[in-house]
Every structure is written in C-alpha cells, then in structure tokens.
Amino acid sequence: MAKRKIIEIDRALCNGCGLCTTACMEGALELDEENKAVLVKEIYCDGMGACLDVCPTDALKIVEREGESYDPKATYKHIVKTRGKDAAQHVHGAEPSKRAPAPHFHAGCPGSSAREIAKEDEQGGITVSGRSELTQWPIQLHLVSPFAPYFRNADLMIAADCTAFSFGSFHPELLKGKKLVIACPKLDDTTGYIEKLAEIIKRNELKSLTVAVMTVPCCSGLYHMVEEAVALSGTPIKLKKVVIGVDGTIVG
C-alpha cells in the first residue's frame, strides 16, 4: 500500500450528527452502533474532504498515511446498491469524460491558445451594463499554461465552475482586476491539477490568490487542492476563500 490522502475521524469530538455521512457522495462514512462516524472502507474515500466543511465539531481531517487506493468503480457499485443510480452519477471519478485528455500545455488548438483580452478604458469608451471583466483566455485549468505571461505578478482567482452562474455580480465584485482559472473538483478529471496549480503559484510571483467555491460539499475539494498546491509550491502566499451560497449570496 502507498501513502495517500484519506479521512481521519476523532471519535472524542464526533457528536453523531451524521452530516458527514450525507455530504460524502462516495458513501465512505456511516454511523456505528455508538453513533460515531466511521470509515466504511478505505477504497470508498477519495481524500477530497467534502465532509470537512459540514462537521460542526471539527472531528474530521484529511491525513496522509498508507492505505488502500480510492477505487471509483467499487465506490460506484457501492452507491448504486445503497443510494441508487441517480446518486451514483455524482461519485468522484466513476464515469470519467469520454473526451481525450487535454495535454497540459496546448499550442495547436485555436480555442485554447493563450491570449490577453484588452479592456477599453471606461473613461474613454462606452460603458456597458454587465460588462465582462475577463482579461485572458483560456480559463479552464486543463487548458491554461503555467508559463502564460498574463499570470506574472497577477491577482489570481481560482473559481469553481458554478460560482459565476450562481453569483450575479461575479464579474464586478470578484473577478475585476484578476486573472481567472476555473475547475470542478467533482466532475473534472483532476489528475495533475495540484501540480499544475503549484507551478502557476511558484513561477509567477502572484500578488494575491483567491479561491471561490460553492456551499455544496463537493466544492470544498477545490479549496483543499489549492491549499495543497500552495504547500507544494513552497511559496508563502496567503490564500483567501470566498464561499457562495446556492441562493447567489456570499456566505463566507
């Protein structure tokens, strides 16, 4: 067995609320006969920590230790059996996209070529209601290059895919003045995400780093990936977290 990220439970702190058992889409947690959270099987825990944000007593944490590897196929079958096929569609990595994996640094595809987007000065141009504050392309984490010049000395926003659709003022209040990277910790193939983020952070002397996520449990995985990337980069940069509710308000 190799070392990997996996959940650890402090039984003394667990109050048996059961919130973690429903927050974990992989069904890795359940309550035992003493009404304490326990790990069902190591192979069901993806190590993303979606359960952490719902625990009211901080009884859960992600640790690195030797353990059986996460098995998405076995987890999918487990959820189909215990929660049904609809719930199983949300199992991390169980049904990866059929599209070809994107290489880390694209050059040939016109849709993924790096470019800056010039913004007309509002004083000298036409003021447009609801104008976009996006100043670079591409933005999807699979497609961006750590070497793109627009990342140099930038204020960087790493946002979960749903945030811009949920928060109506995403552009003027969160994105303005920042470069953007988007990702979904639940539906993306996140292989290499931490390493790529670490390269972006390490190489570009960022002025600030902000992570925007939703309140839904799976979304917290993106924040934890960025935390790991910061640690891996060895760069002492403060990480700001913005949490958006499904009602479109900033809640944290």
Report DSSP state, residue 177.
T
With 90 as the cut, is the pLDDT of residue 93 above it? no
Q: In this predicted structure, what is the pLDDT of residue 95?
A: 58
61 and 38 in contact (C-beta within 8 Å)?
A: no
Q: In this predicted structure, what is the pLDDT of residue 159?
A: 96
- Cβ burial of 247 (10 Å; 0-12, 13-18, 19+) is exposed
CATH of domain 134-244: 3.40.50
Of 8-12, 32-36, 49-53, which has the strongest mean pLDDT?
A: 8-12
With 60 as the cut, is the pLDDT of residue 98 above it? no
pTM: 0.57
HSE-up of 20 (CA within 13 Å, CB side)? 31
How far is residue 13 CA from its own chain's centroid? 27
% pLDDT > 90, the chain: 50
With 80 as the cut, is the pLDDT of residue 40 above it? yes
Q: In this predicted structure, what is the pLDDT of residue 99?
A: 33
- Cβ burial of 36 (10 Å; 0-12, 13-18, 19+) is middle
- The CATH number of 2-88, from 3.30.70.20, 3.40.50.1000, 3.40.50.880, 3.40.1030.10, is 3.30.70.20
pLDDT one-digit tens code per residue, 106-165: 444 444 455 565 655 544 544 445 789 999 988 999 888 888 889 999 999 999 999 999
User: Where do the structural domains in the chain lie, given as residue ranges?
Assistant: 2-88, 134-244
pLDDT one-digit tens code per residue, 213-234: 998 877 888 999 999 999 999 9
Q: In this predicted structure, what is the pLDDT of residue 112?
A: 45
**Position with higher pLDDT, 4 vs 100:** 4
**Position with higher pLDDT, 50 vs 125:** 50
Q: Is the bond into 138 cis (omega within 30 degrees of 0)?
A: yes
**Position with higher pLDDT, 227 vs 94:** 227
